[in-house]
Amino acid sequence: MARERKQNNNGNGKRLATQQSVDQAVKSICDIMRRGNCAGAMQYVPELTWILFLRILDEKEQREEQELVALSVPFRPSLESPYRWRDWGAPPETLPAGQTNKRHELQNAPQNAFFNFVNTDLLPHLKALQNRPGASPRQKVISEIMTGVERVRIDTERNFLDVLDKVHQLTVEAVDPTHVFTLSQVYEGLLLKMGEKGNDGGQFFTPRQVIKAMVQVINPRADEMVYDPGCGTGGFLAQSFEHIRDNLGNDATAEQLETLKQRTFWGREKENLIYPIALANLVLHGIDKPNLWHGNTLTGRETYGGLFEHAPQTFDVILTNPPFGGKEGKEAQTNFDYKTGATQVLFLQHVIRSLREGGRCGIVLDEGLLFRTNEDAFVKTKRKLLDDCDLWCVVSLPGGVFTAAGAGVKTNLLFFTKGQPTRKIWYYDLTDVKVRKKTPLTLKHFEDFLRLLPTRADSELSWTVDMDERKQIAAEESRPLKEQSTTKGQQAAQWNERLKDLKKAKARDEKAIEEAEAKVAELTREARDLAAKAKEIEDAVYDLKAVNPHRKPDVDDRTPEELMDIIEAKGHEVAEALAVLRSRG
C-alpha cells in the first residue's frame, strides 16, 4: 500500500486564496466520500465531521504548545502520539525532511493495516478519553464527538487516504482569511446540505439568515449566558459567539475571551447523529468548551451530561427553533404545568421557565401555536407568556423559509423579555416575500424591519396590537354571557332542589318529576353553553396570529351580469377554436 512521497508544505503546495478554491477543495472531498459508500449528505457530513475536527484540533494544539513553550508554561496536550492527526492523518510527504510518522508505517504495512489501526485502536482510544481520571473538558468534547463513530464508513483504504490528503490541505494557515470564508463557514455550508429537502437533516438546521437576524435583534453581550434548549447543529450558539466576539473587537480582554470560549454558551440536543456535529461546529467556530447536554430536553432523560456541569438554572439569553409538529408522550408532559402532546408548546413552557428575570428570548414558532385557541394547553401557555413576559415583537415570516429543509409550515419569530406583562405587541409582516430555492430569504429582507424596530413604528408592513385594550373588549363582551350563565346555573340549582323534594314526597308526582328533570337539564345545558361562549371570547385574546390591518383584501367586485358576459365571451372563443380544429381535420 506504499504511496509516492512528495515534499511540499500543505499536501499539494497550494494556498487556498479564493472562496472558489476552498469550495472546490471541500467538494472534491465530498466527491470521494460519495464514491466511497457515503452517498448522501446525512452519511458524508458526519464522517467528514470527525476527520476535519481532528485535523483542526491538532493544528490548534500545536499552536497553543508553541505559545506556552515560548512563555515557559507547561502544556498538557489532549492527545499523545500516535493518536494525533500529525501522527496518523498527515501525509508523510508533508513532514519535514528526515521525519516519519505512524501513517507512513501503516501505508507500508500489509493491506487493511490502516483500517485496523483506525477502527480498533484510534477510535476506541478517542471515545475512552472522557473516562480517564481528571479528563479535561477538551478530552470530553473529543470523546463525545467520536461517540457515534463505530468504524470508518468510507469503503476502501485508498479512498480514505485520499480524503485525509485533501482534509490536510484545509488548515487555518492554508486558507487565506482575507479573501475567503473561515473553515467554520465552509463547514456550515456542508450542514446546509444536510438541511436540504430529501436529506432528513432539515429539522436540525435553521437558515443562517434567519439566525443572523434573530441574533442581531436580541443582541447577546459578553457578560451574558446564552442557551438553546434544542440546538440542532449549533447555529444559534455559533452565530451568537461571532456576534459577541465581533462587538468586542480589539478591545476584548483575555478574561473576556476566556469566558466567551469556555463558559458562555449552553445547549441541549437529543439526536445521537446531530449532537457530535453540534460540538464540532462550535469548536470550529472557536468555542473551546461547548457546554452541550446530550439528552431529551422535555423528559430530562440524559444520555451524557459531562459537558453541562455547573450549568445555571436560568439564562440571560435564549435563542432557539424548537422542532415543528412533534408529538410528546406522558413522560415529557408530566414535567410541565400545561400538558399537551405538542412539542413546541412544551418547549415554550421550558423556555419561559429557563429565562431569568430580565432575560431576552428569540424563538421560531409555527403559526398553529400562535392562532390555536381550541386546546387549553395552548391558551394557558400563551397566557403565561403574556403574563410573565413582555412579548414586544412578532415577525410573520413568508411561506417557504423552511421548505428547503423539509418543513413546509408557516412560521413566526417571537421576541420577548421576562419580568413584565405584555401591554402591546409590535408586528412586522414579511409574508409578501417570495421564497424559493434559488431566491431564499436573505438578511436584506430584514432591513426595513430592523430600521423600524427601535421605534416600533407603524408602516404598510408593521402595526401594534394593544393587548390591554383587547383584553378589556373581551371582558366586556363576555361579561353578559357569564352573568347569564350564572343566572341559569342558579335557576338550575333551584330546580334541582325542587326535584329532590318531589322525589322525597310520599305521593310521587311522576309528571312533575319528569318536568323538573327536563328543566334542570335544559338550564344546565344553557348555563354551560353560555359559559363556553364567554370562554371562547376570552380565549380569542390569545390568538396571536399576525393579521396585517393595512393589507387591502383582494375582492372581486364584478357584478353577476359582468361575470356571465365574460363566461359567454370565453365560450365563443372556445367554440371558434374547436371549429378551426375540426376544419383542419
Given a cut of 60, is residue 9 above it in pLDDT? no
Q: Is-contact 389 348, C-beta < 8 A?
A: no
Predicted confidence at residue 148, as pLDDT, reads 85
Helix axes 19-35, 183-195, angle to 10 degrees: 50
H or E element: which one contains 267? strand 265-269
Last residue of a domain, one of 132, 150, 180: 180
Same domain assignment for residues 73 and 195: no
What is the per-residue pLDDT across 345-370, written as a single tens digit (0 to 9) for each?
A: 999 999 999 999 999 999 999 999 99
Same domain assignment for residues 515 and 389: no
Buried b (16+ CB within 10 A) or exposed e, 263-297: ebbbbbbbbebbbbbbbbbbbbbbbbbbbbbbbbb
Confidence of residue 422 (pLDDT cuts 50, 70, 90): very high
Predicted confidence at residue 563, as pLDDT, reads 82
In a domain, 173, yes or no: yes
| Residue of higher predicted confidence among 56 and 260 | 260
| Residue of higher predicted confidence among 258 and 40 | 258
Same domain assignment for residues 228 and 297: yes
Q: Which residue has the cell 431576552?
A: 360
**Distance in angstroms (rounded) separating the CA atoms of residues 296 and 280:** 20
What is the per-residue pLDDT across 246-304, written as a single tens digit (0 to 9) for each?
A: 999 988 898 999 999 999 999 999 988 889 988 988 988 889 899 999 999 999 999 99
- Read off the pTM: 0.84
Across the range 484-491, mean pLDDT stands at 95
Dihedral sign (CA 151, 306, 276, 260): negative
Across the range 226-245, mean pLDDT stands at 94
Given a cut of 50, is residue 103 above it in pLDDT? yes
Task: Write out the three cell numbers for 361.
Answer: 428570548
Q: Is-contact 301 339, C-beta < 8 A?
A: no
The length of the chain is 585
Across the range 68-95, mean pLDDT stands at 92
Q: Which of 6-15, 34-43, 377-386 has the lowest mean pLDDT?
A: 6-15
Q: Is-contact 305 226, C-beta < 8 A?
A: no
Same domain assignment for residues 350 and 254: yes
Closest CA to 154 of 66, 234, 43: 43
Q: Which of 153-167, 429-443, 474-488 has the lowest mean pLDDT?
A: 429-443
Same domain assignment for residues 161 and 212: no
**Distance in angstroms (rounded) separating the CA atoms of residues 493 and 33:** 77
Confidence of residue 7 (pLDDT cuts 50, 70, 90): very low
Same domain assignment for residues 316 and 265: yes
Provide the 3-class DSSP secondary structure of residue 360.
strand
Q: Is-contact 187 45, C-beta < 8 A?
A: no
**What percentage of the chain reaches a pLDDT higher than 70?**
89
In a domain, 1, yes or no: no
Same domain assignment for residues 105 and 139: yes
Same domain assignment for residues 91 and 112: yes
Same domain assignment for residues 357 and 410: yes
Across the range 168-172, mean pLDDT stands at 76
Predicted confidence at residue 383, as pLDDT, reads 97
In a domain, 548, yes or no: no
Largest CA distance in the chain: 118
Q: How far is CA 48 from CA 79, 118, 239, 486, in A?
A: 20, 15, 22, 68
Task: Write out the three cell numbers for 109.
Answer: 504495512
Q: What is the average pLDDT value for the chain, to the nearest integer?
A: 87
Q: Which of 146-150, 172-176, 249-253 has the lowest mean pLDDT?
A: 172-176
What is the per-residue pLDDT across 546-573, written as a single tens digit (0 to 9) for each?
A: 999 998 776 777 888 888 888 988 888 8
Q: 222 is in which domain, residue-wise?
A: 186-457
Q: Is-contact 146 276, C-beta < 8 A?
A: yes
Predicted confidence at residue 183, as pLDDT, reads 54
**What percentage of the chain reaches a pLDDT higher than 90?**
60
Closest CA to 316 of 384, 362, 348: 362
Given a cut of 70, is residue 12 above it in pLDDT? no
Q: Is-contact 107 256, C-beta < 8 A?
A: no
Predicted confidence at residue 172, as pLDDT, reads 60
Same domain assignment for residues 449 and 341: yes
* Runs of H (alpha helix) within 389-509: 447-452, 467-504
Buried b (16+ CB within 10 A) or exposed e, 98-136: eeebbbbbbbeeeeeebbebbeeebbebbbebbeeeebe
Closest CA to 14 of 180, 177, 174: 174
- Domain CATH number, residue 24: 1.20.1260.30
Last residue of a domain, one of 144, 161, 180: 180
Q: How far is CA 214 from CA 100, 187, 196, 562, in A?
A: 49, 21, 21, 49
Confidence of residue 189 (pLDDT cuts 50, 70, 90): low
Amino acid symbol at 320: T
Same domain assignment for residues 308 and 355: yes
Predicted confidence at residue 178, as pLDDT, reads 46
In a domain, 7, yes or no: no
In a domain, 3, yes or no: no
Predicted confidence at residue 198, as pLDDT, reads 47
Q: Which residues pair with 389 in a beta bridge?
A: 418
In a domain, 467, yes or no: no
Dihedral sign (CA 37, 41, 45, 48): positive
In a domain, 238, yes or no: yes
Amino acid symbol at 59: E
Given a cut of 50, is residue 415 above it in pLDDT? yes
Q: Which residues pair with 146 in a beta bridge?
A: none
Predicted confidence at residue 407, as pLDDT, reads 55
For the chain, what is the domain count? 4
Q: How far is CA 353 from CA 16, 337, 382, in A?
A: 47, 11, 13
- Starting from the edge strand earliest in sequence, which strands make up the sheet with 355-366, in order? 302-304, 291-295, 265-269, 226-228, 315-320, 355-366, 411-418, 389-396, 424-429, 462-466
Last residue of a domain, one of 180, 203, 231: 180
In a domain, 4, yes or no: no
- Domain CATH number, residue 339: 3.40.50.150
Predicted confidence at residue 215, as pLDDT, reads 97
Predicted confidence at residue 292, as pLDDT, reads 96
Same domain assignment for residues 136 and 76: yes
